[in-house]
Structure 1
Amino acid sequence: MERLEDCIVEAGTALVGSDAQGRMQLRHDVAIRIHRGVIAQIGPLRGMIGGNEHLPRYGGPDTIAMPGLVNSHHHFGITPLMAGVPFEPLEFWLPQFRAMRSPGTRLDTLYSAIEMLQSGTTTVHHIASGLVGGRAQWDEAADTAIAAYGEIGMRAGYSVMLRDRNILTYGDDDRLLASLPPEVAGWFGARLYPKGGSIAVYLDFHDSLRKRHADNPRLRVNMAPANLHWCSDALLEAIGGAARDNGMRIHMHLVETKRQARFARERFGRSAVAHLHEIGFLGPHVTLGHCNWLEEGDREQLAECGCSVCHNASSGLRLGSGRADVAGLVRDGVPVALGIDQSNIADDRDMLLEMKLAWALHRSTDLFGQRFDAAEVIMQATEHGAMTAGFGGLAGRLECGMQADIVLMSRRKIERPFADGRTPVSELVLHRARREAIEMVLVDGQVVVRDGRVTRIDPDAVMEEIRARLSAPPTAGESEALEMVTAAMPHIRAHHANYA
């Protein structure tokens, strides 16, 4: 890692983070002194200048400073919509990913990282969609994505979705493959699982990856069992044990759609959450993504086990998957983080926009019903997100001892043309801040965005290289993939229509 420089950040207002009662704590007319990437001191500017005149100074009296945002649930860069895959229910959407073209792992990772950083997201939990090919390819893909985040200057949790059953539907793969034309069945059958995969090999891959990157302080290697219907109990129990033994976080998709909830009820005679509890999988190191179809008693069980939930508002709406009961989760004491999933309501990775949607989506229609304020949503997008990605206690707040991941915004641009002094600053940031208001983004005290552009790479060059690669004629393999997926989709739809 590069040497971390010292600097001073000046702000008219700093959003420090929420207190124990969920109220946003503010500091006014402050300076933040950063030493070797860590917040060393917060106080009046005049008290920090003496002896530090040589340090770079960022911000000013018009600046609003807040913790870097966290995208707690992310997959890959080029969106399905960009790649020609229309929005459909999840069960019909996912199989079509096999026909998507990619510009390559590095460019794909940089593309979404540019969008995230330029809208204030300093940390991401990257959940790779799965293992492809053999072990050498797994290592190369993981190392390339991790290197891309390092190249652009982001903090990242990294995990890979693991599956060992029911890849295409909610039943045995062989049943669906038997309904496909032989050529199509052969093509899909050869690609359902990675080569040489087994529970032991999957665990060894993660252990090797974690050790290989042990010296990277901006990285956490996590584990991501894909979903209950995709994972056998044996795989889940092995992942749970490995995570506990190695202090790793787990992020698992769960009951994203109604059919996933029905699968658990019909297969196990209990809810998905109850089944995970029964096999000893749940705990404070576990985050469950989506949770749109929790059953009665599930929220209380998650709270008792100390689990977190990652809410993906745009995803649930755009795919028609459902809406998590975030109000109930918060009421019952379950920490909630925010994720953009594949992309948000505008098909990009703007966390400022996702926060606005998450707030609006959960407004109670009852006159005296529960309603979130800005502090709750900001906490979900900062402190809680940092925890679920593996950086709890290190990022997500502006406090001494925390890593200096800071977003600097222009208050003048947020308030333009005017905002009454009675309006809380946190409400202004949530409801009025757009990426145009972001003047600078720091990670470990280093400037990674200045004047709306990432500083470590040329974003225009990245975009042009992606355009050139994806505008070229498809390869023979890409053409075959599109042909096979197109041929398979009518059979996949029929299978779901007839599946009890």
Structure 2
Amino acid sequence: MSTANGTKSGTLIRGGHVFDVASDFGVRDILVEDGVIVRVGHNLDAPGARIVDASGRIVIPGLVNAHTHSNQTIERGLCDDLPLDTWMVLASYGGAGARLSPRELYVSAMLGAIQMLRNGTTSVLDCARADHEWMGEGLDAITQAYADVGMRANVAAQYSDLDFFSSLPLDLVDGTEHLVRPPRAKPDEVLGEVLGYIDRWQDENPRITPMLGPSSLPRCSTDLFTTSADIARDRGLRLQTHLLSAKSQVYVAASRYGTSTVEFLERIGCLGPWASFAHAIWLDDDEIARFAASEAVAVHNPVSNLKLGAGVAPVPALLRAGAAVALGSDGASSNDSQNMWETLKMAALLPRAHEERASWPGALSVLDMCWDGGARAMGAPLGRIAPGHRADLVLLRTSEVFVAPKEQVAYQLAYADMNHAVDTVLVDGTPVVRDGKVLNIDTDAILAEAAELAARVWEGLPDRLTNYERTAPLLQRLEDEVRRRPWSRAAGR
């Protein structure tokens, strides 16, 4: 940006202890112009720049949450010990309470944004779901929430054309033939509303990126998913979907495509740098190799994977093979939190239960997944405090984080919950949180409205449970059959 006399002005973050995975740890200044870091050094001079005093603070890149669902933020505490496919019925297809109006979607997205910004998450990739009846208006409301609060957001409009039961390997159990239904609509009809949304928001706000979000391969017809991949390549759009988040999906792929899921994605040209895949749990060795040979990004969601008993993603194997891996919280109805510090810690510790020590990802590795992997999933220069990167920064109070050698600071960031240490958050060099308070919105009003909405959601829970109980016996039979079938990464299917 320029002043009236033509000289450059911007923001100077002065005197903070700068932590970057690729640089030495020490006190430096950070000069930002037009939302981009242009210099990092000692005693920088920038006449006319806005000064942010970072003395007594550790400055880190903003955390990146590379996979969540904003429509679920209102549903934390929804359920306890349900496996993934059963949870889907209660959370996403439960009827009463599962449909949020555009205003309610705005409030739910804003609630998540407040939680993330307060814990130092500056960027989010939101697989946002709005009811078909008001899909365009709902997606606009979600995206407007991020624009209003000032957060960086990639919003992947989630869609499908198959019903829930069509996403399950029903042929594994008897008496399910009547549940198989054809696609609800043609691909161009499904995509019409989504592409209209993308056209409205593309280039509208520098912090907002609209994306394609086909729900998952099992919940999309082959035509719809292939068309989505073609559109993403042809129009230069980004895409996020779910990949093998349940063991049952291995058998869907085998019967539907006659090959593995990742090989099918490779065949249709969907393993590009513009594509990211949440969960990526049930990959065999061949799929890991194919995925790593591409530039696609796997998004690890360790907390929700464990809560739903979905499995443990082969993250050490993906990293050894050279794959890009990011981190995500997943939605609050399967995680109950949007806390990326918790996600970092779980990503570091989970492999230690079943992997050799040489394969354990350390503190710097999981931080790099969050920052560099997150930047790849977002398709933006994030996660570094270096020239050319967006100035999405978090200032942590040194009264809460000990100033120490770089390795010990990294250990604190990866293993200690730093929520309580977040003081100031900047996106594009502009403060959006100061002294722990979100600046651009009336937080108290949003939280009050969210509490009223949550009360309505709980009122509808008995109806959801009734719908769930109708299908629970079938889902349990299917769950038992899938668990009974042998499968190992070493042997493949």
Q: Per the shorter chain, which TM-score range? A: 0.7 to 0.9
Q: Does 1:264 align with 2:253?
A: yes
Contact 2:86 2:472 in 1 (8 A): no
Contact 1:165 1:230 in 2 (8 A): yes
Paired residue for 1:442, among 426, 430, 436? 426
Cα deviation, 1:239-277, whole Å, max 9, x if unaligned, reads 111001111122121111111112223443432112222
Contact 2:25 2:406 in 1 (8 A): no
1:206 — aligned with what?
194
Displacement of 1:294 in angstroms is 0.4
Q: Does 1:464 align with 2:462?
A: no
Displacement of 1:368 in angstroms is 5.2
Closer, same or farther: CA 231–410 of 1 in aligned 2, 3 Å: same
Q: Which amino acid aligns with 2:107?
A: L
Displacement of 1:349 in angstroms is 0.7
Q: Does 1:16 align with 2:4?
A: no
How far apart, in 2, do the equivalents of 1:363 and 1:498 lie?
28
Contact 1:165 1:172 in 2 (8 A): no
How far apart, in 1, do the equivalents of 2:236 and 2:289 lie?
25
How far apart, in 2, do the equivalents of 1:470 and 1:77 lie?
12
Q: What 5-or-longer segments of structure 2 have no aligned partner?
A: 483-493
Closer, same or farther: CA 373–224 of 1 in aligned 2, 3 Å: same
How far apart, in 2, do the equivalents of 1:420 and 1:127 lie?
38
Q: Does 1:397 align with 2:384?
A: yes
Displacement of 1:425 in angstroms is 2.4
Instruction: Describe the SS at the equivalent of 1:222.
Output: strand
How far apart, in 1, do the equivalents of 2:106 and 2:208 lie?
16
Moved more, 152-161 or 459-468: 459-468
2:70 — aligned with what?
76
2:117 — aligned with what?
117
Closer, same or farther: CA 470–439 of 1 in aligned 2, 3 Å: closer
2:204 — aligned with what?
215
Contact 2:304 2:335 in 1 (8 A): no
Displacement of 1:178 in angstroms is 4.5
Contact 2:329 2:335 in 1 (8 A): no
Instruction: Describe the SS at the equivalent of 2:218.
Output: helix
Contact 1:386 1:396 in 2 (8 A): yes
2:51 — aligned with what?
56
Task: State, as a whole percentage, how many aligned pairs show the same letter.
Answer: 27
Displacement of 1:361 in angstroms is 0.9
Q: Which amino acid aligns with 2:115?
A: E
1:89 — aligned with what?
83
Contact 1:164 1:193 in 2 (8 A): yes
Cα deviation, 1:391-433, whole Å, max 9, x if unaligned, reads 2x3x222122222110111223112xxx764853222322235
Q: What 5-or-longer segments of structure 1 have no aligned partner?
A: 18-23, 180-184
Q: Aligned pairs, how many? A: 465
How far apart, in 2, do the equivalents of 1:221 and 1:479 lie?
32
Two-structure CA RMSD over aligned residues (Å): 3.1
Displacement of 1:353 in angstroms is 1.5
How far apart, in 2, do the equivalents of 1:286 and 1:26 lie?
32
TM-score by length of 2: 0.85
Cα deviation, 1:195-236, whole Å, max 9, x if unaligned, reads xx4311333333322221122111111112222211222112
Q: Does 1:330 align with 2:304?
A: no
Paired residue for 2:36, among 32, 35, 38? 38
2:162 — aligned with what?
165
Contact 1:87 1:319 in 2 (8 A): yes
TM-score by length of 1: 0.84
Q: Which amino acid aligns with 2:421?
A: A
Q: Which amino acid aligns with 1:260?
A: Q
Moved more, 285-294 or 322-331: 285-294
After TM superposition, the structure 1 = structure 2 runs for residues 7-406 of structure 1, keeping only pairs within 5 Å, are: 7-17=11-21, 24-45=22-43, 47-48=44-45, 51-52=47-48, 55-60=50-55, 62-76=56-70, 78-79=72-73, 82=76, 84-97=78-91, 98=94, 99-100=96-97, 102=100, 104-129=104-129, 131-134=130-133, 137-168=134-165, 169-170=167-168, 178=178, 197-213=185-201, 214-343=203-332, 347-363=336-352, 369-391=358-380, 393=381, 395-406=382-393
Contact 1:15 1:64 in 2 (8 A): yes
Displacement of 1:330 in angstroms is 0.6
Closer, same or farther: CA 409–73 of 1 in aligned 2, 3 Å: same
Contact 1:84 1:100 in 2 (8 A): no
Closer, same or farther: CA 437–286 of 1 in aligned 2, 3 Å: same
Closer, same or farther: CA 444–111 of 1 in aligned 2, 3 Å: same
Q: Which amino acid aligns with 1:426?
A: A
Displacement of 1:155 in angstroms is 0.6
Instruction: Describe the SS at the equivalent of 1:340.
Output: coil
How far apart, in 2, do the equivalents of 1:262 and 1:313 lie?
23
Instruction: Describe the SS at the equivalent of 2:249.
Output: helix
